[in-house]
Amino acid sequence: MRKFLIFLFLSSFLFAGEVPRPGKNPDVNELIKIWDIIKYTKFAKDYESYSTVILIRRSGFKRVRKAYRARIILGGKNGIEYKDYVAFIYPAAFKGLAILTWTYLDPSKEREQWLYIPSLKKARRISPSQDEDNFMGSVFTTEEITSWKPEYETYRLIRKKKFKGYVSNYDNKEYYRGEECYVIEAKPKPERKVKLRSKRILWLKADDGTCIFQEVYDKNGKLYKIIFRSFEKIGAKKYPAQIIVEGKDFRTNDISIVHMDEIQFDVGLKESDFTVERLKKMKW
């Protein structure tokens, strides 16, 4: 019953086009739902961004790609919560390569996802069993970038603590030192059959609910990956937007960085753009 009331309370913000914030003594599920809304920009009608993707190998070798991302929030129309795609626009060898995702409002219904390969002019479905696979050669998984849902995990609020700060590899700048955060343990539900991860530790800023840091642990309880995010307020409505998403895999010492170069909300995207057929016709 409490989860249902939390859902109704947070939904009222979405209908008003506002971004919910944590209350004085928030429930852990309330905090996670706020993060879900922010992560997938559910407070807006739509979202688009141009980004630079930097893949750094342990040797120091760097590869740079450019990408475009678009999302339209449908709020349950035909059972769909939102549609989203990520398309690479540089270099030429990756131009037009895209992943399209349809996410359903019903948490028990698995997302539908397609990988479009322009050289073959074909798309193939991506199974939910591939959610743990690396996303487009990065250290991030497909789930971490496109398909995570709050219902996939159980949560425990560990404590409230000041964040120690993080120095980004992108700009060598330290972020969020001393920020008060809610520290939350997230464990995958058994029915998800997650093979590698035993838990995540999430650091959510106490003032706005943004998740600035994640620690990812393997089945033996060993930390094997971290993910950092920075945020800025964008546009007249001051919507929170991820600016830097940076991950490091300690097993390989590889680093992946996504920097959002340009972000816009509520630009009037059309649902008809979010189909495989439309991706085939787009000229990047």
Residue extents of the structural domains in the chain? 2-281
Amino acid 5: pLDDT: 45
Distance CA 234, CA 61 (A): 33
Distance CA 128, CA 110 (A): 7
Does residue 62 surpass a pLDDT of 50?
yes
Pairing of strands 112-117, 166-167: unpaired
Distance CA 3, CA 206 (A): 20
What's the maximum distance between 2 C-alpha atoms anywhere in the chain?
Answer: 53
On the 0-12 / 13-18 / 19+ scale of CB atoms within 10 A, 280 is middle
Does residue 14 surpass a pLDDT of 70?
no
Residues 168-179 have pLDDT tens digits of 999 999 999 999
Q: Which superfamily does CATH assign the domain made up of 2-281 to?
A: Lipoprotein localisation LolA/LolB/LppX (2.50.20.10)
Residue 263 identity: I
Distance CA 197, CA 218 (A): 5
On the 0-12 / 13-18 / 19+ scale of CB atoms within 10 A, 25 is exposed
Amino acid 61: pLDDT: 95
The DSSP secondary-structure symbol of 209 reads: -
Distance CA 149, CA 58 (A): 31
Does residue 264 surpass a pLDDT of 80?
yes
Amino acid 281: pLDDT: 87
Amino acid 7: pLDDT: 46
Pairing of strands 197-205, 211-218: antiparallel
Distance CA 209, CA 223 (A): 23
Looking at residues 216-243, what average pLDDT do you find? 97
Amino acid 73: pLDDT: 98
> Which among 47, 49, 32, 41 is positioned nearest to 14, based on CA atoms?
41
> Which among 250, 168, 173, 157 is positioned nearest to 213, based on CA atoms?
168
Looking at residues 117-138, what average pLDDT do you find? 91
Q: Two tokens at 35? A: 């993060």
Chain mean pLDDT for the chain? 93
Q: How far is CA 152 from CA 188, 224, 262, in A?
A: 6, 20, 31
Amino acid 6: pLDDT: 47
Interior angle at CA 87, CA 224 and CA 200, nearest 5: 20
Looking at residues 164-187, what average pLDDT do you find? 98
Does residue 17 surpass a pLDDT of 70?
yes
Does residue 13 surpass a pLDDT of 60?
no
Distance CA 35, CA 22 (A): 10
Do 145 and 131 meet the contact criterion of CB atoms below 8 Å apart?
no
Looking at residues 108-117, what average pLDDT do you find? 94
Q: Percent of the chain beyond pLDDT 90?
A: 86
Interior angle at CA 27, CA 26 and CA 32, nearest 5: 95
Q: Percent of the chain beyond pLDDT 70?
A: 94
Supply the pTM of this predicted model.
Answer: 0.92
Do 121 and 112 meet the contact criterion of CB atoms below 8 Å apart?
no
Amino acid 10: pLDDT: 52
Which one of 103-112, 135-144, 173-182 scores highest in mean pLDDT?
173-182
Amino acid 145: pLDDT: 92
